[in-house]
Each structure stands twice: as C-alpha cells, then as structure tokens.
Amino acid sequence: MENLEEFKKLGLSDKTIEALKAKGFEEPTEIQRLCIPLLLEENTEVIGQAQTGTGKTAAFALPIIETLDGGSKVPEALILCPTRELAIQVSEEIISLKGDKKIEVAPVYGGASMENQLRRLRKGVDVVVGTPGRVLDHIKRGTLKLDALKFAVLDEADEMLDMGFIEDIEEILKATPESKRMLMFSATMPKQVLSIAENFMHDYKLVRTEIKDISSRNTHQIYFEVRESDKLEALTRIIDREVSFYGVIFCRTKVQCEEIANKLISRGYDAQALHGDLSQREREVILKRMKEKRLSILVATDVASRGLDIQELTHVINYSIPEDPEIYIHRVGRTGRAGHEGTAITFITPRETRRFNFIKKATSSEIEKERVPEPDEVIQAKRRKILLDLKEKVAIEPKEDYMAIAYSILGKEKDPLKAFAAIIESIYKDELDKSQYKKITPVRDEKAERNKGKFDKVKPASVDEEGLTRLFIARGRRDGFTKRSLANTLIEQVGVRDEDLMDIEVMEDFSFVNAPFAVAEKILKYFSRSKGRPVVTRAHEEEPSKKKRSISERARRGKKGRDREEDQPYGRDVRLDGSPKPRINDKRKNKREKSKKRRR
C-alpha cells in the first residue's frame, strides 16, 4: 500500500486508487509522476515526451477519468491513436482504470463494423478513442459531434505524423472547440509535432522524461549469430530449451511472418501469425487467444509492435533484425514490464553485424552473445521439464475410480516401472528424440576470411556463408528504380517471392540484391535471354559492395525520406531488360487483333 500512497500524493481520488490496486499497479512511472499533477490542474495543456512502454496511457487517462463526471452522453474526451491495435489497447486501459465510475468509452477505427460504431455513438459516450481516418469519417457524416469536448489527446503523435495523418489530424482539431484542453504524447519530438502544438495549443508545458534504455530493465538481452537458413532450427531449439515460453517473434515481412508461423504450427507449437493482411475480426480473435494464454507464440510484423498489450511475456525474439534502434526498443519493450523479468533474443547473420553494432551503440544496450544450444542440451532441458511436470501430476491425490484402473494395469505380474515408462512415452511421444533437430552450420569468422584472401586474385562471388548469391543489376535510380520498384519488377517478371529478395541496394546507375542460390539462378537464367550485355550478373568482390549511408547522411534525409524511397509504389514504363511494359490499351489492342485472327 506504501507504493499506492505515491499515486495518492499525485492527487488521485480513493476510487481511482482502488482501480489501480485491482490492476496491480505498484508505483507511478516517471511520466505519470510528472504529468498527472499538471493535468489535474485546470486549463493546463501538456506535451509529454517519453519512450514506448513507460506508462504514457495512464499518464493522461487517469486525469481525464478524475476530471469527467460521466453520463454526459456526448463526447468530452477524444483520443487519437495511429493504429487500430493501439486504439483498442487505450480504450481497454481506460475502461479498466475507471473502476465503477460511469464513464462510457467507445473505440472507433477502420476495419470494424460501422453499424456497431454508429449504434454506440447514438447511445451516447463520454470518451472516444479512435484512428484519425475513421474519426474524421464520423465527423463528416455528422455522427460524431465534438462541441462539448474538454480533452483532445494525440497518443504516439510522432507515429501518426510518420504515417501521414497530419492533414486528418488538423481537420479533426479544427472541428473541436477552442475551450478544450489539448494533450500530446510522443516518443520523439520532430518539428511537425511542435508545429501542431504552435497551431492548436495555448500555453502548454513540455514534459520530458530522462532518455533511458528501457529495453534493458528486467530484460536479459542476448543475440545469436546464425545463417539465414538456420534461423528456424535455432528458434525451435531455443523455445524447447525454455521451461516456459510465452512470447512474440518479430519478422520483417507479412509473407515471412505467415511462413514461420505455419512451420511452427506444423511442428506442434501453439503459434499464430499477426500481420496487416488479416481482417480486424481475425486480429481481435488472435490477440484474445494470446491474452488468455491459449496461444503461447505470436509471430508478428512491426505493425503489431506499437499496439501490442500482452502482459507477462517471457520472450521477445527478433527473427529479423530491426531496421533501426527505435524499432529495437519498441520490440524489446514488450517484455520485462511491470516488474516481470523477460528475455530479448536477436538473430543476426554475419552481414548484419555492422547494423547490429549500430543498434547496440544507439540504444546503449548490453547485449550478450551466446551460442545456439546443441541438441543434447535441449534434450536435457526437456527431460527436466517432463520430470517437473510429472512430479506435479503424481502429487495429486487420485480418485478411487482411477486407482482401480491403475491396480488392474499394475497387477502383480507387471513391472510397475516399465508400465509407468510406457505411459510416459505414450504422452510425450518423440519429445526426447534428438534426431528431430537438424545440424546448424557454424558461422565463420568472416573478418579473418577476408584478411586471409586479401591479396588473392578476385574471383566471381557465388554462394556466401548464408547460402545467398549477390547479384549485380545494371539499372539504378537514373532508370527510375527504387528498392520497392526493383523488387516488384523481379517478382512480376521472373516470378520470385518477395521474401527471397534481401539486402537490396539501388545506386545511381546500378543495383545489388541478395537471393538464395536457386532463386538467383532463376533470375540469371531469365535475363540471360535478353540481347546484348546481360542486365543481371553475379556480383564480383571488385565491384562496389554493399555500403551503408553514413549516420549524418541518414539524419539529413530523415526517417520519412527513407520510408518514401523504400515504399514507393511500382510504376515504371519499361522492364529491366529494356523492353516497354505493356500498357492497358496495348493489351486490349493485342486481344482484339488475336480475336480477329481467330475469326479469319
């Protein structure tokens, strides 16, 4: 109760303290300690800067709950969130924090039934939590009136701006009364966030918490260096070694996410994929199953990372290395929360060492290197788990009916030990079979290898340590290509899969791409048919190798610039081999000509 006294000192009522106690809160976080007293003051507006996972939701939700009387039937608080998952999470958090106070909360977001949302809004709500697109839609329809609004909150403001919601946010804020109080919470503080503050806030107070490596608190961070082709094997060994595994595995793409989840399911794990291609209903069902611990493994893309609110996760695994330090913090921050301990594991391939070192330095994280457990170690760990499980079971006092069955099986002529072992084997089947684990090829010391052949004659590169082939493509930015459009071109023309194309680099006049050996051969064979100099060849060590842009250059370009380059939609008018891409009219013309020939 002493820790809850700290919440009381912030100015919260006894009813709110009871709600906090029921939720298991122990003590306020730094952002809560700084913001709650300010927000309980009248007419104070606040911009709170704190990293993800530091309790920002409670920092603004608790003062709103304290201030609103409830039962007004018109929205008095509007909270905007960047994603559907976060909108659901925030609305659930407010409902759990309000206790028995009669405050009606309605989440509104795209992908969910509009009819249900309209019915809820007509019934009357005090707090609306939603995504900018759907909130603006309701405002334009006239189904969401904000005339009585007392609070407008932008949660994860930087993320909403990164996602391009700036115009929607401005239009929504123009529909709110001048008398409202506006609050913004953000992990970073870009110029656009401050621009919104200048245009829509009055005398606001900027609250910054100390920047810490939040990922390291109560979280043991380790990494394994493995080849791309050995990641799944390493993953299953790690899961099997643990006494209990309740975690999230982060992948780079939706396709990879689905593939890994399916492979885990086929091996008998309680796993499910979570990514952007699922319907809202499917996503909600999966998250519900995970929260109820009917699933133990969630394989997710970074889309799920922002809005993920699953308590007591034991593990977070970066199956694919994060693109930048902030994403690493967001991922790893999902475990080791609320006083619980967790483990964060990252898989890196040899060529990702430099990027991983940058992440370590940028996050000031102590990440230990470990080796993938050998099959013998995993089997020993499984034996211990089986023994613990059986000890718990035999400690239960059996019913008479089952005693009679046991006696009939273990008659005097039977060997009790053999009979018991047979029952154990029938339950656990091949759990202790070492052959289920495939060999993992040790990763070479690539630096030593490079130095060893430093003055050797340069030879064409074929297959590297990860089983990948580096391809040189004689097309670049000058030809109108970006990373995304180059990948789309190869997918469209050659018929390869998106997840098979890795480490794409687009230079001014040429590009590079990595692909598994068989896929690379398919690409080479396809483009060998073109006339003249080959467009695609194997990269040589003497040709420009993969180089990262300097940190200063990346800073000048900015995160949004990178996203635009990598996510630019495919729209070239020519193919890689130089032939024009058929236009829609050309296709129709060709069809008409073929039809005429058939009639003749």
Instruction: For residue 587, tell me if it sits in a domain.
Output: no
For residue 315, with 0-12 CB atoms within 10 Å meaning exposed, 13-18 middle and 19 or more buried, which class applies? buried
Q: Helix, strand, coil proportions of the chain in percent (round to 5)?
A: 45, 15, 40
Strand partners, 105: 127
What angle in degrees, to the nearest 10, is found between the helix axes of 375-394 and 416-428? 120
Instruction: For residue 588, tell me if it sits in a domain.
Output: no
If the chain, 600 residues long, is cut into consecutive pieces of 10 residues, what is the mean pLDDT of each piece? Answer: 75 89 81 91 86 79 92 92 85 89 92 88 94 94 94 89 85 93 85 85 85 63 93 95 92 89 92 85 87 92 68 92 78 77 92 84 85 93 89 86 82 74 85 88 59 41 60 89 87 85 86 88 86 81 41 38 35 52 50 55
For residue 220, with 0-12 CB atoms within 10 Å meaning exposed, 13-18 middle and 19 or more buried, which class applies? middle
For residues 193 and 295, membership in a common domain is answered with no
- CATH code (residue 512): 3.30.70.330
For residues 333 and 418, membership in a common domain is answered with no
For residues 382 and 359, membership in a common domain is answered with no
Strand order across the 219-225 sheet: 271-274, 297-300, 247-250, 315-318, 342-348, 219-225, 368-369
pLDDT of residue 248: 95
For residues 200 and 56, membership in a common domain is answered with yes
Domain count across the chain: 4
Instruction: For residue 576, tell me if it sits in a domain.
Output: no
For residues 107 and 7, membership in a common domain is answered with yes
For residues 13 and 131, membership in a common domain is answered with yes
For residues 194 and 91, membership in a common domain is answered with yes
For residues 477 and 503, membership in a common domain is answered with yes
Of 175, 208, 241, the position where a domain reaches its end is 208
For residues 104 and 138, membership in a common domain is answered with yes
Question: What are the b/e assignments for 343-379, b being 16+ CB within 10 Å?
Answer: bbbbbbbbbbeeebeebbeebebebeeeebbebeebb
For residue 431, with 0-12 CB atoms within 10 Å meaning exposed, 13-18 middle and 19 or more buried, which class applies? middle
Residues 6+ apart with CB under 8 A from 274: 257, 283, 286, 287, 298, 299, 300, 301, 304
Closest CA to 154 of 199, 111, 118: 199
Distance CA 494, CA 490 (A): 5
Q: By residue range, what is the domain housing residue 470?
A: 446-567
For residues 489 and 528, membership in a common domain is answered with yes
Distance CA 589, CA 84 (A): 44
The pair of structure tokens assigned to 78 is: 């509007």
User: How, if at all, do strands 219-225 and 368-369 pair?
Assistant: parallel
- Identify whether the C-beta of residue 344 lies closer than 8 Å to the C-beta of residue 359: no
Of 174, 208, 242, the position where a domain reaches its end is 208
- CATH code (residue 220): 3.40.50.300
Instruction: For residue 331, tell me if it sits in a domain.
Output: yes
pLDDT of residue 379: 92
For residues 236 and 338, membership in a common domain is answered with yes
For residues 510 and 534, membership in a common domain is answered with yes
Question: Quick count: other Cβ atoms within 10 Å of Cβ 522?
Answer: 16
For residue 580, the 8-state DSSP code is: B
For residue 290, the 8-state DSSP code is: H
Instruction: For residue 590, tell me if it sits in a domain.
Output: no
Instruction: For residue 593, tell me if it sits in a domain.
Output: no
Instruction: For residue 572, tell me if it sits in a domain.
Output: no
Strand partners, 505: 512
Of 208, 241, 266, the position where a domain reaches its end is 208
Q: How big is the chain by its Cα radius of gyration, in Å?
A: 29
Strand extents, DSSP E, 23-150: 45-49, 77-80, 105-108, 127-130
Instruction: For residue 584, tell me if it sits in a domain.
Output: no
